[in-house]
Amino acid sequence: MSRQRRAPGTGSFCLTLLRRQLILAARRPIEIGNPLLFFAMVVALFPLGLGPAPDKLADFAPGILWIIALLSSLLTSDTVFRSDFEDGSLEQLLLAPQPLYMSVLAYIAAHWLITGLLLALVSPLFALMIKLPEQAIGVLVGGLLLGTAVLSLVGGIGAALTVGLKRGGMLISLLILPFYMPVLIFGSAAVQNAIAGYPAAPYLAILGAMLCLAIALAPLAIAAGLRISVDA
């Protein structure tokens, strides 16, 4: 008499999901390269529009870098669940015995690793290109690590609600762009304070609090959005 196969535990299941998403992304390197290429192109274009004066570029650098990071994250949010929706894997995920909350976190973690983490790691190079003072680069990287994670979580909500639509990219922008604004405001303010010699820790703490709140609430909204989209 054959034994019934036990379902994998939640931890191992989520790690498998995370590894699967990273492997799929590695097989489509254009999805990883697009945000970085977009980041590089926009950074290279800003000096042409503002002029090459170092002082002027330094004044606009915090806002420029954060806006580009926001748009880069928005550029890839539409793809978080779409391929799994199209091949039926997403429906199987909803039927799995593991908590959907944790499964959704694995998807979002994979998205952040291939977008937000990479952008944060390469941001010092782009910051030097637009004359950001060196004392603010550490704050920029720390803020991007926190802020892009919030952007991925919030973007996942829009991706879940529009995954069943053929052209959901523009709708995602309309849905979630207002919720991106606090991240942009506090992230750029932290860098501006570092440039001026003031403490940036309060703004980074606010970004950290926003990340904790997003981790607690966003997966619930994403899970509900996926159920609505799949059942529709």
For every one of its 232 residues, what pLDDT tens digit does the chain have, with 9 covering 90 and above? 445 556 678 888 889 889 988 888 888 777 777 788 888 888 777 777 766 666 677 777 888 888 888 888 888 888 888 888 888 888 888 888 888 999 999 999 999 998 889 889 988 988 888 888 888 899 999 999 999 999 999 999 988 888 877 665 667 777 788 889 999 999 999 999 998 889 999 999 999 999 999 999 999 999 998 888 877 5
Instruction: Please state, as a whole number, how many other Cβ atoms lie within 10 Å of the Cβ of residue 196.
Output: 11
Which of 7, 215, 14 is CA-nearest to residue 103? 14
Residue 173 within a domain: yes
Residue 5 within a domain: no
Residue 2 within a domain: no
What is this structure's pTM?
0.88
DSSP label at residue 4 = P
Residue 148 within a domain: yes
The whole domain housing 224 covers 10-231
**What's the structural domain count of the chain?**
1
User: Contact 191/129 with Cβ under 8 angstroms?
Assistant: no
For residues 190 and 61, give the distance between their C-alpha atoms in angstroms, rounded to a whole number.
12
Residue 46 within a domain: yes
Residue 1 within a domain: no
Residue 30 within a domain: yes
Residue 225 within a domain: yes
